Structure 1
Amino acid sequence: MGFISVRLYLLLMSLVLVPSLVPSLAAQSRPYGGALPGYARYLLDATAMPAVEQYDYIVVGGGTAGCPLAATLSGPGGGRVLLLERGGAPSEFPALATAGGFVRTLAMADPAPESDAPAQAFTSEDGVPNVRARVLGGGTAINAGFYSRAHPGWFHGHGEDAEVTNWDMRLVNASYEWVERQMTFQPTVHGWQAAVRAALLEANVTPWNGFTVDHVAGTKVGATTFDASGRRHSAADLLGFARPGRLRVALRATVTRIITNPIDPAARRGRSPQPTVAAIGVVYQDRLLEQHRALLRPGGEVILSAGAIGSPQLLLLSGIGPASDLSYLGIPVAADVPDVGKHMFDNPRNGISVIPSVPIDHSLIQVVGIPSANGSESYLEAASYIVPLAPALSSSGPFIGSTTPLYITVATIMQKVPGPVSEGSLWLPSGNPLESPALRFNYLSRPEDLARCVLGVRRVAEVLESRALDGFRSSVGSTSRRGPVRRDFRIVGTALPVDWRTNDRALANFCLQTVATLWHYHGGCVAGKVVDRDFRVIGARSLRVVDASTFSETPGTNPQATILMMGRYMGLKMIEERHSRRPVRS
C-alpha cells in the first residue's frame, strides 16, 4: 500500500472511528444522557481538519484549564473556538476510567513524542522521574482525583507583589462552584484512609474539619473526581457545555509555533510595555505530519493552556523569550521576554511506603493533613495501591527466582513541601518542536525548603508511630531490653533513620536521597514577569497564557481545583471583555 493510499485509509478510519472514541465515558457525563457524552459531537482527528480555517479563539492544550476555558468561550456570549489537543480521547485508554488504573498509567508512561500513551514520561536534569499528561482532559484524566480549593492567601499574594493579582473573588467562587457541580463528589472514607485520618489527629494535625473543599488547617476529607461507582470525571466532560456549532476539538494535533506579525510602532497602543508583535494564529501538525494553520478572526485571541511545560516551550519555539537564548538556537526573535522558561517550580514529595500486614482496599488520596492554613508547613497525604513487586524488594523473601509477575498492595504516607522557594528553569535543547524541553527544578536547594522537608518527614514518622495504625504493622517485631516486642512496619525502599526524632541532619539526608515529584510543577510563564495581571503575554498582543505555568507558588494541597476554576474564570472574563469592546448601536 503506497503512502498516499495509507494516508487516505487513515483519514477515512479517523473519520469513522473518532466519534466512537468516547462511548466508555458515557457514564461520566452527568448533564447528558444517551450513549455518548456531551462533547463527542465536537471531536475530530487532526487529519480531518482543513489546511486553513479561522476562529475567534484558538486554545492550545485540552487539559485542566483548556477544557473549561474552551467550553466557556464557546458558550453564551462567546465565539467560534478551536481546541487543539496533542493526545487522544480518554476512552481510548480504559485504565484511565477508574482509580485502579492510576499506577498502571504512570508505569506505562512513554517518553517518545510520537507515542499514543496518555502520559509522557520525562526525567528532570535533577534525575527525578516525572510525567506529563498527553490526553484530552490533561492531568485530570490521569491523576489521583483529589480536589481542594486554593488556600485563601494565594489569591492575595500571587506573583511577586500584590499588584500582580487581579482576582474577582465573587467570580472565583462562582467558577469553583460551576466545576464542582459537574465533576466532584464526596468520597466514602474507610479502611486505610480512615486509619490515616485517626493517625493524623493522634499526631496533633488538628482540628478535625470533616468533608470540605476549602483549604483549612487541620485534618480533612477533600472531594474526589471519582463518582460513587468509581468512574473518573475529567475536565473533558466540561466540553459538553459548549454551544453546538461553536466548538471544534482536534485530537492528535501538535502545535509547533504561534504565528505572529510585527506591530507598526505608530500603531502601538494600550498596555505598557508596548506589545511589539501580535498573534494571528498557530501552526499545528497531525499524526501524519501534515501541517495545518488556524488563524484568528479580527479581535480574536490565541490562548496557551498547554501546562507548565508546554506553554513556555511553545512561546520559546515562537520566538518569544530571552533574545540571547533564541538567537543561539537560530530562532528569530519576535519579542524579547527574558523570563520565559524561568522560575520553574515543583513541589518536592517525600514519603514512607509500607506493606500492610492485613489486606487493605485500593484508595487514592482522600484524607489530608494541613498543619497551617497559610501553607508554611508541609501537607500530609496518604494512598494505597497495587504495584508490581520490584526485584530489589524480593531479595530477602520467598520470591527469589520467580518469573511470574507478583503484585503487592503498598500503603504510603507522604509529605509535600508547599512553597517551594527553590526554583529552576526550562530551556530548549534545539529548535525542533517535537523534542521535549529540558528542565531542572533544583529540588530542596534552598535551606528553607530542606528545613520544611525535615519537619514534614518527622510529622510523617509521627503518624506512622500512632496507635491508629497498629493494625497494619507486621506480626514480627523487634525486641527491647526495656519492654515488650514492638511490631514494626515492613518498609518499602529507604527507611527513616532510627534517630529521626532528634537528628535533623539525618532527616535532611533522607529528604535529599528520597525526593520525588507529586506532579504539581508550575511556573515558566509567571504572572508579573511573562504575563500581566490579565494573563496577557507581555510584549505580545492577542496572546494569553491560562494555566499553572503562570503560578509562582502552588495554590494548595493539589492544584487541579484552582486550574479548573481558572479556565472557567478566564473564559467568563474574556467574554466580558469581548462585549465591552463592541460599539453600542444607537
Structure 2
Amino acid sequence: MSGEVGALVADYIVVGAGSAGCAVAARLSEDPSVRVLLLEAGARDRNLWLHIPLGYGKTMFHPTLSWNLETEPEPELEGRRIPWPRGRVLGGSSAINGLIYIRGQKEDYDHWRQLGCTGWSFEDVLPYFRRAEDQERGADALHGAGGPLGVSDLRDRGPLARAFIEAAVELGLPRNDDFNGPTQEGAGFYQVTARNGWRCSAATAYLKPARGRPNLRIETGAQATRLLFEGRRAVGVAFRQGGALREARAAREVILCGGAIASPQLLLLSGVGPAEELAALGIPVVQDLPQVGRNLQDHFQARMVYRCRRRGVTLNDRMASLRGRAGMALEFALFRRGMLTISAGTAGLFARVLPGSATPDVQYHFIPFSADGPGRSLHPFPGFTISVCQLRPESRGTITLASPDPSVPARIRANYLATETDRRCIVEGLKLTRRLAATRALAPFVEAEYLPGPEAQGEEALLAHARRTGTTIFHPCGTCRMGSDPASVVDTELRVRGIAGLRVADASIMPTVVSGNTNAACIMIGEKAADLIRAAAKARQALAA
C-alpha cells in the first residue's frame, strides 16, 4: 500500500467494516497482486464485551461502539422515535448484535430471482453461505465447515428455553433442530455466530486472519464524507480521520458496505440519488437515481414479558446478586459456558399465523431475561421475554438527508405498521404468544403476565400494546435495491446504475428483507460481491490482452 498523509492509493476501497465489508475486503486481499483499503468510521474491536456473547447488553447502546441512531416520530407507534443502534466498530453490527445465525427461507432468495435478480436464487447463493460457514456440526449439502465464520450450538440452553420448545410442540407445531436446514418452520434452539464460546463477529472471522497481509490496509476512525468522481466514474473517497480531511484513490473500484443507512446516505451526500431532493439541499447532482434511500424495510417486534415462578433460572436472578454475577464470570472463564454465552434469543419458533401463508410469517425469540425494552435495566423480579416479529412486512420507509453535512444523521422513517396486513400479523403473533404461555409445558414457569398484562384483552388492546411498546429487531435493509429494472439502484452485479467503478454490497441491496435475522445474509452478500468483483477484473484483463 502506498500513499502519504491525506492521499492513500489502492486498487479497491471498501467503505465500512461491517458484516459484508469485512468479507469483501478479506476475500479481495487474498490476491497479493491487488491493494485493498478498508475504511471504518469506528474503532478497533478491543473492548472485551465485544467478544463475550452476552456483551451485546453492554455494547448495543454503547456511546462510542454504536451509532445510536433513532427514527423520526413513527405515525403508527404513537409518534415515538425508535432507537436504531448500529455497530460503530470493526465488525459493524455483527460485533454488537444478538449472534443469532439465520439465513432466511429458500423462498426469499427464489423470490429475489423472480423479481429479476438473476444469479440470486437460493441455489445461486447457497455456495456462498457454505463457503463462509464453519459449522460446528460439520458439513453437509446445506452447510459448510472450515470457513471463516464460526457457527455453533448454544452452550447454555436452560430449562426455560426447553419448556418454550415443548410448548410449541404441545400446540402442534413441529420440532426443528436446524432453522437453516431443509425447512425453517418449527421450534428449536438457535445456532449462533460463536466459536469456542466467544463471539465470532465478521471482524474476528475475516479480518483477524487477514490483518497480516501487506496488501490490506485497515483505517479506523475514518468516516467517509463523500465519494470522489471523475465524470461518472467513482475514483475515490473523501473521509475525516482524527479531525483531518483525507482522500483515498481507487485504481479499480469503490465498494460501499456501510449498511442500510450509511450506504444510501453516502450516495446522497455525493450527489447520487433523487435529483430534486439533492438540488434542494444544494448538492450537485452526479446521477439522478430516485430510488436511493427508498424501499426501507425492517422487522418490527412486539414483546410479552412474564414473571417467572421458578427462581434461579432467569438472568434477572443471576444478575441480582454479587454471588450470581461472580458465578457467571467464573463459569465463562473456566468452561466458556453459562449465561454469558447466551444470545438474544436462546430458543426460537418460526410459525404461520395469517391465513394463506405458505411459509412461516412470524419469528419468535425466547429470551431468559426481561426488561422494559432493549438496552434497559433488567427487571428486579425473575422474568422472561417472548418476542415476536413479522417476517415479511409490507410497510416501506425511507432514508433521506437531514443536511448536506456528513456529520448530521440521516432521517430514518421506518413507517412501521403502515398496512393492515402488518397490523394483523403482529396481533395474531401476540395471540399465539399467549397460547404458548398457557401450555402445560410453560405453566410451571409462568407466575403472571407482566407486559402487557391480563387487562389487555382483545385484538385492539394487543395492537395498542404493539404501538405503545414495539421496537425494531435491528434488521434494516432495502435502501439501495438490487434489480434488473432501470429503477433499481444497483444491478444484479451490485454496480450502481449510471456510475462506473462503484458498487454497493450490504443489506441495502436486498430487494425484500429475508425471513429472519439478517447478519448471515449480509455476509453471504459480501462473499458473492467479492467473486463478482474478481470476475469483472479477470474480464477486463482478458479484454486488455
Match of 2:362 among 364, 375, 378: 378
**1:537 aligns to 2:496 (yes or no):** yes
Match of 2:29 among 69, 74, 79: 74
Checking the alignment, whether the CA contact within 8 Å between 1:124 and 1:130 is kept in structure 2 is: no
**2:151 maps to which residue?**
184
**CA distance, structure 2, for counterparts of residue 350 and residue 537 of structure 1:** 36
**1:120 maps to which residue?**
68
**1:330 maps to which residue?**
282
**CA distance, structure 2, for counterparts of residue 220 and residue 49 of structure 1:** 54
Q: Give the alignment of 1:404-443 within 5 angstroms.
A: 410-443=383-416
After superposition, give the CA deviation of every residue in 1:173-195 in whole Å (9 maximum; x if it has no partner).
Answer: 23212322132112243322212
- Call closer, same or farther: CA 1:353–1:539 in 2, change over 3 Å: same
Aligned AA for 2:308? P
Instruction: Name the SS of the counterpart of 1:552 in structure 2.
Output: coil
- Call closer, same or farther: CA 1:410–1:251 in 2, change over 3 Å: farther
**TM-score relative to the length of structure 2:** 0.83
**1:248 aligns to 2:217 (yes or no):** yes
- Call closer, same or farther: CA 1:151–1:169 in 2, change over 3 Å: closer
Aligned AA for 1:557? G
Checking the alignment, whether the CA contact within 8 Å between 1:135 and 1:141 is kept in structure 2 is: yes
**CA distance, structure 2, for counterparts of residue 585 and residue 506 of structure 1:** 67
Checking the alignment, whether the CA contact within 8 Å between 1:78 and 1:575 is kept in structure 2 is: no
Deviation at 1:218, TM superposition (A): 1.4
Checking the alignment, whether the CA contact within 8 Å between 2:287 and 2:499 is kept in structure 1 is: yes
Checking the alignment, whether the CA contact within 8 Å between 2:392 and 2:514 is kept in structure 1 is: no
Deviation at 1:510, TM superposition (A): 2.6
**2:428 maps to which residue?**
455
Match of 2:538 among 558, 572, 579: 579
RMSD: 2.6
**1:464 aligns to 2:423 (yes or no):** no
After superposition, give the CA deviation of every residue in 1:478-521 in whole Å (9 maximum; x if it has no partner).
Answer: xxxxxxxxxx34x1x4325553xxx3333332322222110111
Instruction: Name the SS of the counterpart of 1:331 in structure 2.
Output: coil
- Call closer, same or farther: CA 1:441–1:246 in 2, change over 3 Å: same
- Call closer, same or farther: CA 1:78–1:142 in 2, change over 3 Å: farther
- Call closer, same or farther: CA 1:558–1:388 in 2, change over 3 Å: closer
**CA distance, structure 2, for counterparts of residue 256 and residue 453 of structure 1:** 38
After superposition, give the CA deviation of every residue in 1:82-102 in whole Å (9 maximum; x if it has no partner).
Answer: 1111001221x2222213322
**1:349 aligns to 2:301 (yes or no):** yes
Deviation at 1:210, TM superposition (A): 1.5
**CA distance, structure 1, for counterparts of residue 26 and residue 373 of structure 2:** 42
Q: Which moved more, 1:451-460 or 1:233-242?
A: 233-242
Q: Give the alignment of 1:52-201 within 5 angstroms.
A: 52-76=7-31, 79-91=34-46, 93-106=47-60, 108-110=61-63, 116-126=64-74, 127-158=81-112, 161-167=114-120, 169=122, 172-181=125-134, 182=148, 183-188=150-155, 189-201=157-169
Deviation at 1:121, TM superposition (A): 3.8
Deviation at 1:168, TM superposition (A): 6.5
Deviation at 1:252, TM superposition (A): 0.7
Deviation at 1:443, TM superposition (A): 0.6
Checking the alignment, whether the CA contact within 8 Å between 2:350 and 2:363 is kept in structure 1 is: yes
**1:234 aligns to 2:194 (yes or no):** no
Q: Which moved more, 1:357-366 or 1:546-555?
A: 357-366
Higher Rg: 1
**CA distance, structure 2, for counterparts of residue 248 and residue 355 of structure 1:** 50
- Call closer, same or farther: CA 1:109–1:408 in 2, change over 3 Å: farther
Deviation at 1:538, TM superposition (A): 1.1
- Call closer, same or farther: CA 1:581–1:330 in 2, change over 3 Å: same
**CA distance, structure 1, for counterparts of residue 312 and residue 20 of structure 2:** 38
Q: Give the alignment of 1:474-513 within 5 angstroms.
A: 474=447, 488-489=448-449, 491=450, 493-495=451-453, 497-499=455-457, 503-513=458-468
**CA distance, structure 1, for counterparts of residue 396 and residue 112 of structure 2:** 16
**CA distance, structure 1, for counterparts of residue 265 and residue 88 of structure 2:** 15
- Call closer, same or farther: CA 1:354–1:119 in 2, change over 3 Å: farther
**1:258 maps to which residue?**
227
Deviation at 1:472, TM superposition (A): 1.8
**CA distance, structure 1, for counterparts of residue 427 and residue 474 of structure 2:** 20
**CA distance, structure 1, for counterparts of residue 379 and residue 108 of structure 2:** 44
**CA distance, structure 1, for counterparts of residue 426 and residue 409 of structure 2:** 30
Deviation at 1:367, TM superposition (A): 2.1
**CA distance, structure 1, for counterparts of residue 390 and residue 121 of structure 2:** 28
**CA distance, structure 2, for counterparts of residue 256 and residue 87 of structure 1:** 14
**TM-score relative to the length of structure 1:** 0.77
After superposition, give the CA deviation of every residue in 1:461-491 in whole Å (9 maximum; x if it has no partner).
Answer: 11111121122223xxxxxxxxxxxxx34x1
Match of 1:213 among 171, 180, 194: 180
- Call closer, same or farther: CA 1:389–1:249 in 2, change over 3 Å: closer
Deviation at 1:198, TM superposition (A): 1.2
**CA distance, structure 2, for counterparts of residue 381 and residue 119 of structure 1:** 24
**1:561 aligns to 2:534 (yes or no):** no
Match of 1:521 among 476, 480, 504: 476
**1:548 aligns to 2:532 (yes or no):** no
Deviation at 1:351, TM superposition (A): 1.1
Aligned AA for 2:500? R
- Call closer, same or farther: CA 1:352–1:210 in 2, change over 3 Å: same
- Call closer, same or farther: CA 1:329–1:409 in 2, change over 3 Å: farther
Deviation at 1:343, TM superposition (A): 1.3
- Call closer, same or farther: CA 1:137–1:410 in 2, change over 3 Å: farther
**CA distance, structure 1, for counterparts of residue 96 and residue 166 of structure 2:** 28
**2:170 maps to which residue?**
202
Aligned AA for 2:452? T
**CA distance, structure 1, for counterparts of residue 117 and residue 4 of structure 2:** 39
**CA distance, structure 2, for counterparts of residue 543 and residue 374 of structure 1:** 38
**1:477 maps to which residue?**
none
User: Which segments of 5 or more consecutive residues in structure 2 lack a partner in the other structure?
Assistant: 75-80, 135-147, 315-338
**CA distance, structure 1, for counterparts of residue 193 and residue 401 of structure 2:** 35
After superposition, give the CA deviation of every residue in 1:302-338 in whole Å (9 maximum; x if it has no partner).
Answer: 1110000000000000000011110111111111101
Checking the alignment, whether the CA contact within 8 Å between 2:305 and 2:370 is kept in structure 1 is: no
**1:294 aligns to 2:245 (yes or no):** no
Checking the alignment, whether the CA contact within 8 Å between 1:496 and 1:507 is kept in structure 2 is: no
